[in-house]
Chains A and B, each alone.
Chain A
Amino acid sequence: MNMWNAFSQVLAKYAVLFHSAIHIVDHNGIILCSHNDMLLGESFLREPEKYCNTMLKQPIHPDTYLFCTELFEQQNVKYYLINEEKTPNQISVNSEAIKIALSCFLNMPQTETGEEQNLQLINKQQDIIDILLHANIKQAEVQAMLQLYEIDDSRLRIAIVIELDFQSNRYFNININLGYQPVLEKIRSEILETVRSNRYFNTQDIYGFYGTNEIVVLKSFIPTADLTRIYLALDHICNTLLNNLSRFSLLKVKLAYGNIYSDIIMAKESYSEAKQIISIGKVEHFEDDFYSIDTIMIDSICKCLHPHIIYKILIPYIKMLSDGTGEHLYDFLTCSETFVDCCMSFTRASKISSIHRNTYNKRLLKIKELTALDPITNFKDALIIKLINVYIRQNPDFLDVNQMR
């Protein structure tokens, strides 16, 4: 497909979508490409340059409006896009969308083999990922891209992030070429293909690398009121992804997904949430590969605590626990958290931590003496103790800064 054929198809598609007539003319106003092949070669608008970015009434059919905009320049010749619509309301916005769609082909090779077509398919997915996760998303650009690639923007979207960590032996703390890199480059594409071929993915799902060692999948779901089932399904899908990726022995992955959004523009939010879940999960469960919110619920809550809670509740208690010297802090923290994790059962907690029940009791009494927190009888106090422990693990520098270690 050459560039002009591609243009012709795009114009035909948008003419149907916007109920408009669309042409590309040269600087003399001669139609070079149109949604209607019969008009090729006709003189349409003299000196289109004069009318750039302005709306005017069609001279022959005054009930129709024209919008002219410069499209591109090639060998000192300018080419213009002219959009004709019955109403003036959306004409400039629609023209912009068409222009963006056409611009995708301007840098395209002029001829295309079957192999290049396949490559384009992969690039198409990559383009969408790049645009959607870009810091400054342009709504019109996204819409044009989705229409061009026939991506259904009515579906619910969710970002699945797969962080790839390629295992290699590093004998020294310097980079030495140990021969891993060429292998890694090869398997990167195999990994993407493995992800793409997941049995639960369809052609409305979008995949691609984001950065060098991250694969992002924008999974689509048909809208439903029952989001619970979608989240359950996502857990299952992520487990199958891990299973598929387990054949890559050089690879360790960290995987999580963000929230579901009804607008694909929000894919970036979902991506950021998934990234945050991975970073939270790594603190407590570094060896895990799939971080589901139900396994790191408290960690996630703790990460999002209101500063009020941190500075008014957690930090004062930590200071009280440190007993001024910080000497017993570690023992207190370990004991108290195990006790809470064991549903406030002395028997189970002492068995797990191999500490005598009486010692346990003494330490908890000491905590009560220092802080007035009583996890034995008060659930709220037990929750605060759990949050203190998670907060300290998530903020390891905190203890150093406060010289409590």
Chain B
Amino acid sequence: MSDIVEKDEMLPRQRVLAALFNKDFDRFPAICPTSVANLECMQISGCHFPKAHIDSQDMANLAATAHTVLGFDTVAPYFSVHLEAAALGCKVNWRDSGGMPVITKYTLLKLSDFVQPTNFISQFPCQQLIQAIRILKKRFGDKVAIIGKVIGPWSLAYNLYGAENLILDTILYEKQVHAFIEELLALPIALAKAQFEAGADIVTWADHVTADLISAEIYAEFILPLHKLASHRLSGYGPIILHTCGNVIDRIALFRQSGFRGFHIDSRNDISEAVKIAGNELILTGSVNNPITLTSGQRSHVSKEVLYNIQSGIRLISPECAVPFITPNSNLIELVNATHRAPLHLRACLQPKPSP
């Protein structure tokens, strides 16, 4: 548990939401928009993968350790990116504590095979996630912020059809791809609404529109309109944090137009530059490096990187993506502690800059 002894003026949930909405906060918040589940927390909670991927009680128990063991200001029970795909008929190997799940068989051989499901939310994987959020809400009430997660239409299309196929079809059959992801959009919107209604305070919208796979132009043409639509339809429910791994610096200006409240950024980007581009409309969270700092580094490296992020203008500190299972608790606790003890005067770095 975090070794901070100073008196908190705000509850973790208040702190997170204040930072997310540009308000004053008592400490910099440490959050987990993606999974922080690791082997140590699995042992402590007694909830292991694969069951903890798809069983609401285990999902909730393992998620709770993010706050009770590691001290994060948030908890997040969706650890993989495969629940929707499983609900839509993909074969998923949920694996064990040795690695994240993988899809072993896509449901679609061609885009036109897709049929909009009528009972998506009532599918078992979706119901387990919603139930896990209810359990967490009951346990933490308004004390800790609960972060739900949905897989956006682009990533969902990867899962259902294969990233390699989708990207080729983007070149060869643009219209069909447009139509397909437009159809898919209804699913994450419905699941996000259900998670907010179950008690989620924030929902992470994972859409892997990284520069390693597609250009900013393709993002702007194919996906940005859907992101705008999603943020509009969910505006009455709660804030959304977009998550995209990898290099995205050339499209942060576009993310800002999406209407999403936050963006979860990877450490491979120039953070100061990203903060400058994001302006006030898009609050960045991140970006402590996973493989080098959190998994292989020492506590001193972690605290140094937390400070670097805050000085670069990040107000909600988090690991850059889902942490590897072998990440030691000591480093994750150091991430939280270094974030919480960061001097508040550094907020001056966060003074909103005029949007370009």
Contact = CB atoms under 8 A, between A and B. Distances in A.
Interface of A: 12-13, 15-16, 36-38, 150, 152, 197-204, 221-224, 226, 229-230, 232-233, 236-237
B247 interface: yes
Given A16-B292, A16-B296, A224-B164, A236 B171 contact: yes
Interface stretch (B111-119, B148-156, B180-188, B213-221): B213-221
A233 B164 CA distance: 12
B218 to A, nearest CB: 6
Contacts of A199: 215, 217-218, 221
B298 to A, nearest CB: 7
B331 to A, nearest CB: 14
Contact of A221 (B168, B291, B292): B168
Contacts of A224: 162, 164-165, 168
28 contacts: A16-B295, A16-B296, A36-B298, A37-B298, A38-B298, A38-B300, A199-B215, A199-B217, A199-B221, A200-B170, A201-B215, A202-B211, A202-B212, A202-B213, A202-B214, A202-B215, A203-B247, A204-B213, A222-B163, A222-B164, A222-B213, A224-B162, A224-B165, A224-B168, A226-B168, A229-B168, A232-B172, A233-B171
Given A37-B301, A200-B171, A233-B172, A13 B292 contact: yes
Contacts of A15: 296
A229 B218 CA distance: 19
A157 to B, nearest CB: 14
A237 B221 CA distance: 17
Contacts of A198: 215
Q: Which has the most chain B C-beta neighbours within 10 Å: A150, A221, A229, A236? A: A229
A15 B293 CA distance: 12
A152 B164 contact: no
B167 interface: yes
Question: Which 3 interchain pairs have the tightest Cβ spacing?
Answer: A222-B164, A199-B217, A224-B164
A279 B302 CA distance: 56
A199 to B, nearest CB: 4
Given A16-B291, A224-B168, A200 B215 contact: yes
Contacts of B217: 197, 199
Contact of B172 (A37, A201, A236): A236
A13 B297 CA distance: 11
B23 to A, nearest CB: 32
A202 B218 CA distance: 10
A359 B217 CA distance: 58
Contacts, number: 64
A37 B300 contact: yes
A116 to B, nearest CB: 13
Contacts of A223: 164
Contacts of A201: 215
Interface string B183-221: 000000000000000000000000000011111011001
Contacts of B172: 229, 232-233, 236
Nearest to B211: A203
A204 B167 CA distance: 14
Contacts of B297: 12
A390 B300 CA distance: 71
Contacts of B168: 221, 224, 226, 229-230, 233
Contacts of B165: 224, 226, 229
Given A16-B295, A202-B213, 4 more contacts: A12-B292, A38-B298, A222-B167, A236-B171
Contacts of B215: 197-202
Contacts of B218: 199-200
A222 B158 CA distance: 12
A202 B213 CA distance: 6
A243 to B, nearest CB: 13
Q: Which has the most chain B C-beta neighbours within 10 Å: A150, A204, A222, A237? A: A222
Interface in B271-319: 291-292, 295-298, 300-301
B292 A237 contact: no
Nearest to A156: B164
Contacts of A152: 212
A223 B164 CA distance: 7
A109 B211 CA distance: 28
Contacts of B292: 12-13, 16
A201 B219 CA distance: 12
A204 B212 contact: yes
A201 B211 CA distance: 9
Nearest to B273: A114
A141 B298 CA distance: 30
A203 B212 contact: yes
Interface string B101-139: 000000000000000000000000000000000000000
A13 B298 CA distance: 14
Nearest to A232: B172
A298 B172 CA distance: 26
Q: Which has the most chain A C-beta neighbours within 10 Å: B163, B212, B213, B297? A: B212
A221 B214 CA distance: 11
Nearest to A225: B164
A204 B164 CA distance: 14
